[in-house]
């Protein structure tokens, strides 16, 4: 029973790092303009927020910059600039803008929420904790801050007790001697995936990737991921591994899947649709995709790729299985058309903030709409 559960969960993992931008955008996108703003900066500020809500992030970033040049006293403008920078993958710029927003107006809870999340996904857990502690001191009844802060404190306490193994490209945290052999095996698998997948798309993470090996109970408590999720990448790779030595193939599959998310995140994931992100992870697992074909043949409901741009975290287990099958087969078709190098070029171009439909057509030599129609006919 445990083996079946582990096997199924590996195939339907979730990348929280990709999900967070959508969550934060829906939370912050309606931020009001400061009543003290100058008329010119207020007009630009509203235009910038409209651009963010419409997905025109490059335009939003430039418009926020123009507004700030007129009025540097409006914390809401720096909040918008920080969100735009985050969506464009400019982490250091985002953190600076959000820190400035809070310096101007410490009551901007949304700025603290976003700054803490970015610090957390940057691997700076202590900074994330401090940011939320300061925000909670001003809004002590904020349940979102309370819940996340409690989880991060538990995580920090747990990780402080973990042992570490370090290789050229990874740091693995694990629960001491009982999991030492698993940690060493994980490093071997991850280093092999680093070179194989990186060569396929001509890109590699520029910084070492942290990998945390949990028990099932620890994984659920720390990640709060759906029950069907068997691995997660949210800036760190997080995997439940109890009994993994008896299931080496399964451990290899889930670590490879989550490393693919880490690689895409390093290239620049904010404009990458979830189906492309997850489909690449499924494809690089290396497993024959016959399972995906069978899943779609028996599915009561299929998804268009346009329905799979958002994270899969709100799907139930059956829907998620179909979504991953759709994604894996779509990416397989895309790789057959343009090769791994072409996919790597597509990811790098998207990281520069170019529109997905136009970029897709330039690399695939077919419109995104026509590609979707072809997939629907399969």
CATH of the domain at 150: 1.25.40.10
For 129-193, the DSSP string reads HHHHHHHHHH-TT-HHHHHHHHHHHHHHHHHHT-EEEE-SSEEEEE-SGGGHHHHHHHHHHHHHH
Do both 127 and 174 map to the same domain?
A: no
Residue 9 has pLDDT above 50, yes or no: no
| pLDDT value of position 5 | 31
Do both 49 and 139 map to the same domain?
A: yes
Domain assignment present for 21: no
| Domain boundaries, position 331 | 274-377
Report d(CA 5, CA 83) in Å as an integer: 38
Domain boundary among 159, 183, 209: 159
- Tell me the mean pLDDT in the region 247-257: 90
Domain boundary among 218, 240, 267: 267
Residue 7 has pLDDT above 60, yes or no: no
| pLDDT value of position 66 | 96
| pLDDT value of position 82 | 94
Do both 41 and 154 map to the same domain?
A: yes
Domain assignment present for 7: yes
Q: Phi/psi at 238 (nearest 5 deg)?
A: -125, 125
Q: Phi/psi at 209 (nearest 5 deg)?
A: -100, 130
Domain assignment present for 26: no
- Tell me the mean pLDDT in the region 178-202: 93
Domain assignment present for 22: no
pLDDT band (50, 70, 90) for residue 163: very high
pLDDT in tens, 11-57: 444 444 444 555 555 555 445 555 456 788 889 999 999 888 887 88
Query: Taking the mean position of all CA atoms in its chain, how far away is CA 134?
Result: 26
- Tell me the mean pLDDT in the region 280-303: 92
Do both 238 and 333 map to the same domain?
A: no
| pLDDT value of position 3 | 31
Residue 344 has pLDDT above 70, yes or no: yes
The fraction of the chain above a pLDDT of 70, given in percent, is: 88
| pLDDT value of position 138 | 93
pLDDT band (50, 70, 90) for residue 351: confident
CA angle, 51 then 233 then 221, to 5°: 110
- Tell me the mean pLDDT in the region 346-362: 88
Q: How many CA atoms lie within 13 A of 339 on its CB side?
A: 6
How many structural domains are present in the chain?
3
Residues with Cβ < 8 Å from 294, sequence gap 6 or more?
none
Tokens of 32: 């009001």
pLDDT band (50, 70, 90) for residue 372: very high
Report d(CA 105, CA 154) in Å as an integer: 29
Domain assignment present for 129: yes
Do both 52 and 65 map to the same domain?
A: yes
Ranking 4-18, 30-44, 286-300, 349-363 by mean pLDDT, the lowest is 4-18
Do both 120 and 37 map to the same domain?
A: yes
pLDDT band (50, 70, 90) for residue 271: confident
| pLDDT value of position 206 | 86
Domain assignment present for 107: yes
Domain assignment present for 329: yes
- Tell me the mean pLDDT in the region 247-252: 87
The predicted model scores a pTM of 0.81
Tokens of 158: 């747990």
CATH of the domain at 184: 3.40.30.160
**Burial track 191-227 (b if 16+ CB lie within 10 A, e otherwise):** eebbeebbebbebebeeebbbbbbebebbeebbebbe
- Tell me the mean pLDDT in the region 115-123: 90
Domain boundary among 134, 159, 184: 159
pLDDT in tens, 294-336: 999 998 889 999 999 988 888 888 999 999 999 999 999 999 9
pLDDT band (50, 70, 90) for residue 365: very high
Domain assignment present for 23: no
Report d(CA 113, CA 148) in Å as an integer: 10
Do both 136 and 177 map to the same domain?
A: no
């Amino acid at each position: 029973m445990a083996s079946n559960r582990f096997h199924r969960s590996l195939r339907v993992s979730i990348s929280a790092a990709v999900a967070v931008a959508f969550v934060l955008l829906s939370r912050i996108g309606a931020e009001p303009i400061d009543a003290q703003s100058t008329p010119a900066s207020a007009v630009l500020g509203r235009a910038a927020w409209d651009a963010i809500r419409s997905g025109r992030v490059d335009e939003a970033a430039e418009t926020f910059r123009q507004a700030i040049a007129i009025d540097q006293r409006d914390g809401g403008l720096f909040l918008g600039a920080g969100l735009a920078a985050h969506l464009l993958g400019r982490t250091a710029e985002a953190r600076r803008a959000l820190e400035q927003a809070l310096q101007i107006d410490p009551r901007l809870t949304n700025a603290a929420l976003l700054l803490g999340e970015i610090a957390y996904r940057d691997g700076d857990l202590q900074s994330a904790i401090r940011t939320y502690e300061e925000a909670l001191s001003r809004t002590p009844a904020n349940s979102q801050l309370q819940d996340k802060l409690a989880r991060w404190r538990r995580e920090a306490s747990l990780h402080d007790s973990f042992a570490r193994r370090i290789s050229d490209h990874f740091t693995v945290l694990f629960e001491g001697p009982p999991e030492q052999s698993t940690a060493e095996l994980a490093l071997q698998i991850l280093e092999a995936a680093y070179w194989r997948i990186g060569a396929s798309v001509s890109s590699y993470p520029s910084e070492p990737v942290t990998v945390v090996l949990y028990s099932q109970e620890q994984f659920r408590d720390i990640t709060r991921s759906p029950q069907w999720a068997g691995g997660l990448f949210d800036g760190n790779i997080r995997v439940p591994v109890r009994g993994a030595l008896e299931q080496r193939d399964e451990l290899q599959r889930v670590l490879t899947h989550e490393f693919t998310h880490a690689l895409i995140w390093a290239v620049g994931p904010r404009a990458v649709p979830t189906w492309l992100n997850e489909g690449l992870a499924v494809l690089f697992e290396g497993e024959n995709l016959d399972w995906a074909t069978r899943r779609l043949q028996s599915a009561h409901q299929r998804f268009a790729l346009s329905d799979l741009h958002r994270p899969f975290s709100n799907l139930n287990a059956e829907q998620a299985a179909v979504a991953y099958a759709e994604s894996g087969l779509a990416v397989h078709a895309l790789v057959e058309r343009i090769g791994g190098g072409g996919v790597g070029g597509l990811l790098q171009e998207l990281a520069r903030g170019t529109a997905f439909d136009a970029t897709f057509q330039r690399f695939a030599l077919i419109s995104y709409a026509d590609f979707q129609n072809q997939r629907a006919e399969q």
